[in-house]
Amino acid sequence: MNFAIRIVNLYNFLNETKQERIMSKQILRSGTSVGANIREGQFAESPADFIHKYSVAQKECSETLYWLELLNKTNYITTEQYVSLDTDCTELMKMITSSIITRKKSLSLTPNH
């Protein structure tokens, strides 16, 4: 949720201050989707559904990293802004990946999965 709030604030900054419309919408979509998919995964109907939802969150996180890098390289955000958001997004990616790996391991240990 905190990361999504930061992304919404970034979207507002890009829209209002930088007059940037295209990339700001892209990062808003991908950056807020991460938490939404994690939330869906918490109430997954099965272990496979959990893995699927978290895998979607992982892809959205990766896309968000792309937009952050592009925004930085095109000077829409400062290096300081980039590093701060990139660090948070990378940490989210690590947590999501770890959750997927853990669930896959537990799934492989249960008979008749």
Predicted local confidence at residue 112, as pLDDT: 61
Query: Per-residue DSSP letters for 45-84?
Result: SSHHHHHHHHHHHHHHHHHHHHHHHHHHHTTSS-HHHHHH
- pLDDT-based confidence at 107, cuts 50/70/90? confident
Predicted local confidence at residue 113, as pLDDT: 53
pLDDT (tens digit per residue) in 17-72: 999 999 999 999 999 999 999 999 999 999 999 999 999 999 999 999 999 999 99
Range of the domain at 73: 2-109
pLDDT (tens digit per residue) in 64-87: 999 999 999 999 999 999 999 999
**Whole-structure pTM value:** 0.92
DSSP state of 18: S
How many structural domains are present in the chain? Answer: 1
CATH number at residue 57: 1.20.1440.60
Can you tell me the distance from the alpha carbon of 73 to that of 26, in angstroms, rounded to the nearest whole number? 16
Share of the chain above pLDDT 90, in %: 93
- Residue 37's identity, in one-letter code, is N
Instruction: Name residues whose C-beta falls within 8 Å of residue 10's C-beta, 6 or more positions apart in sequence.
Output: 24, 27, 31, 77, 81, 85
